[in-house]
Amino acid sequence: MTNMPGGFTDPMDATEEIQKICDQKNTKKVYEEFRAVKYTSQVVNGTNYLIKVHVGGHIYLHLKVYQTLPCDGGQVVLRGVQEHKTEDDPLVPF
C-alpha cells in the first residue's frame, strides 16, 4: 500500500467500517442497493475517504466523505458525490 504523506492510499476492498460510514450518509436518492466495494483514504486533521459504492446493475457512485478525529466527535460529513460511474472507473480525488 502506497501512502505518501498527505496523499491517498492505494484502493482497498471496503471493510465493515467503510460500509458503516456509507450507511450514515444520505445521498437523497433511493437505490436498488448501497454497498461499498472499494475505498481509499487520506489522513488529514481527520480522514478523507473516496468510496466506490455499488448501487445496482452496472451503476456505481463515488463518494467523498470526511470523518473528524474521534477526539472531535468522529462525525461523518458527505463532501461530494459523483454519479454514473462504472466498476472500472478509478477512485480519484474530486
- 20-55: b (≥16 Cβ within 10 Å) or e: ebbeebeeeeeeeebebebbbbbeeebbbbbbbbbb
For the stretch 35-69, pLDDT in tens is 999 999 999 889 999 999 999 999 999 999 999 99
Q: For residue 88, how many other CB atoms are within 10 A of its CB?
A: 6
Quote the pTM value. Answer: 0.88
Q: Percentage of the chain surpassing pLDDT 70?
A: 95
Q: Is 16 helix (H, G, I), strand (E, B) or coil?
A: helix
Name 89's Cβ contacts closer than 8 Å, sequence gap at least 6: 52, 60, 62
User: How far apart are alpha carbons 86 and 53 in whole angstroms?
Assistant: 10
Confidence class of residue 92 from pLDDT cuts 50, 70 and 90? very high
Name 70's Cβ contacts closer than 8 Å, sequence gap at least 6: none
pLDDT at position 4, please? Answer: 53
